């Protein structure tokens, strides 16, 4: 049996027997999400929870001071940062930042692949957020919001993680990266949906993680998956070799994009730059 087929067989068997180890949400993210769901929580209480993770605390202060937040007065403390970001947004933004903790490995080859995966994921997220910022100006009453999109875009490729973890036990897989790419293409969506369900995330997150790369799957109404796909097309994660017309016509027809010229506009490039400052 080829290495490629062996890896696929192992993954399928472990999925069917429910024995594949799925990544767990970082502990600090769990605590923040639980606190955010408490109707009695206030900004000071939330800051106390976040303060348990100094690295995350520092990142959130940086987010609060980023061009993305659009404020000129600099915040100096975590309490000020939480106040600026707000309780509604902090749940998903803090979880999104904590996600990076999952893309680590002691194996040098796997670590390199995880780093590249995370970099691509962030690039997709930034582009998708920039598009939503523009779209939201004309759709202020939409139930779609950018903090939910931020997290949805950062979990869209989460199904790659258990595949990489399994491949870590079979280093010969990395001798031919195409084996790994095949496994990811076939399995990542299914695993992504399974992870979102195990984390008890809502249907929007399950839909994105499970279906983002399946272009045969389309939603009737504009949804988070549209913005994630636009980000994936813009960064060439999807649709390599396709013309802009072929990539974006569905989104233009649907009303997510005005036209392909938007990507050349000063507005888009400034927005993209501001958003990248959040993840720098």
Which single residue is written with the structure tokens 């293409």? 185
| Domain range summary for the chain, segments of one domain joined by + | 3-19+103-279
Residue 243 phi/psi, 5° resolution? Answer: -75, 160
Task: Give the contacts of 103 (CB within 8 A, at least 6 positions apart).
Answer: 114, 115, 117, 118, 161
By the 8 A CB rule, do 168 and 11 touch? no
Whether 262 has a pLDDT exceeding 80, the answer reads: yes
- Confidence at residue 265, expressed as pLDDT on a 0 to 100 scale: 95
CA angle in degrees (0–180, nearest 5) for 49-51-55: 125
pLDDT band at residue 246 using 50, 70 and 90 as cut-offs = very high
Asked: is 3-19+103-279 a CATH 1.10.3210.10 domain? The reply is yes
- Confidence at residue 2, expressed as pLDDT on a 0 to 100 scale: 61
User: Cα 210 from chain centroid?
Assistant: 12
In the structure, how many helices (H) and strands (E) does the chain have? 14, 0
Whether 267 has a pLDDT exceeding 90, the answer reads: yes
Cα separation, 52 vs 38, in Å, equals 18
Which single residue is written with the structure tokens 């730059």? 273
- Confidence at residue 10, expressed as pLDDT on a 0 to 100 scale: 77
What value does the mean pLDDT take over residues 208-218?
95
pLDDT band at residue 47 using 50, 70 and 90 as cut-offs = very high
pLDDT band at residue 237 using 50, 70 and 90 as cut-offs = very high
Question: Cβ-count burial of 248 within 10 angstroms (0-12 exposed, 13-18 middle, 19+ buried)?
Answer: buried
- Confidence at residue 57, expressed as pLDDT on a 0 to 100 scale: 92
What value does the mean pLDDT take over residues 13-23?
79
- Confidence at residue 7, expressed as pLDDT on a 0 to 100 scale: 67
pLDDT band at residue 71 using 50, 70 and 90 as cut-offs = low
Q: Which residues of 75-96 are buried (b: 16+ CB within 10 A; e: fewer)?
A: beebbbbbbbbeeebbbbbbbb
Task: Give the contacts of 44 (CB within 8 A, at least 6 positions apart).
Answer: 79
What value does the mean pLDDT take over residues 38-65?
91
Q: Which residues of 252-278 are buried (b: 16+ CB within 10 A; e: fewer)?
A: eeeebbeeeebbeeeebeebbebbbeb
- Confidence at residue 173, expressed as pLDDT on a 0 to 100 scale: 67
Whether 82 has a pLDDT exceeding 80, the answer reads: yes
Q: Which residues of 187-224 are buried (b: 16+ CB within 10 A; e: fewer)?
A: bbbebbbbbbeebebeebbbbbbbbbbeeeeeeeebbb
Whether 134 has a pLDDT exceeding 90, the answer reads: yes
More confidently predicted of 24 and 19: 24
Whether 56 has a pLDDT exceeding 60, the answer reads: yes
What value does the mean pLDDT take over residues 62-73?
80
More confidently predicted of 250 and 19: 250
User: CA torsion sign, 15 to 154 to 150 to 83?
Assistant: positive
Give the orientation angle of helix 43-50 with respect to helix 54-64, to 10 degrees: 130
- Confidence at residue 20, expressed as pLDDT on a 0 to 100 scale: 76
Cα Rg of the chain (Å, integer): 19
The secondary structure of residue 264, as a DSSP letter, is G
Cα separation, 32 vs 116, in Å, equals 27
pLDDT band at residue 270 using 50, 70 and 90 as cut-offs = very high
Which segment of 81-95, 114-128, 207-221, 222-236 scores lowest on mean pLDDT?
Answer: 81-95
């Amino acid at each position: 049996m080829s290495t490629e087929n062996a890896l696929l067989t192992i993954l399928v068997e472990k999925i069917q027997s429910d024995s594949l180890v799925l990544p767990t949400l970082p502990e600090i993210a769990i605590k923040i999400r639980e606190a955010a769901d408490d109707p009695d929580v206030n900004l000071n209480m939330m800051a106390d929870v976040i303060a348990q993770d100094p690295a995350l605390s520092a990142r959130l202060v940086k987010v609060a001071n980023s061009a993305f937040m659009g404020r000129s007065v600099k915040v100096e403390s975590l309490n000020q940062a939480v106040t600026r970001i707000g309780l509604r947004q902090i749940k998903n933004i803090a979880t999104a930042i904590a996600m990076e903790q999952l893309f680590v490995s002691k194996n040098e080859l796997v670590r390199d692949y995880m780093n590249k995966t995370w970099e691509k994921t962030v690039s997709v997220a930034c582009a998708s957020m920039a598009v939503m910022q523009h779209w939201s100006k004309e759709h202020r009453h939409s139930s779609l919001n950018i903090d939910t999109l931020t997290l949805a875009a950062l979990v869209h490729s989460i199904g790659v993680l258990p595949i990489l973890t399994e491949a870590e036990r079979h280093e010969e897989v990395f001798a031919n990266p195409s084996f790994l790419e095949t496994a990811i293409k076939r399995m990542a969506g299914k695993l992504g949906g399974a992870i979102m369900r195990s984390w008890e995330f809502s249907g929007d997150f399950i839909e994105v993680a499970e279906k983002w790369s399946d272009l045969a799957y389309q939603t009737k109404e504009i949804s988070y998956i549209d913005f994630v796909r636009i980000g994936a097309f813009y960064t060439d994660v999807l649709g390599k070799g396709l013309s802009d017309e072929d990539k974006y016509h569905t989104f233009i027809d649907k009303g997510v994009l005005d036209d392909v010229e938007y990507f050349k506009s000063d507005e888009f490039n400034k927005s993209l730059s501001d958003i990248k400052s959040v993840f720098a």
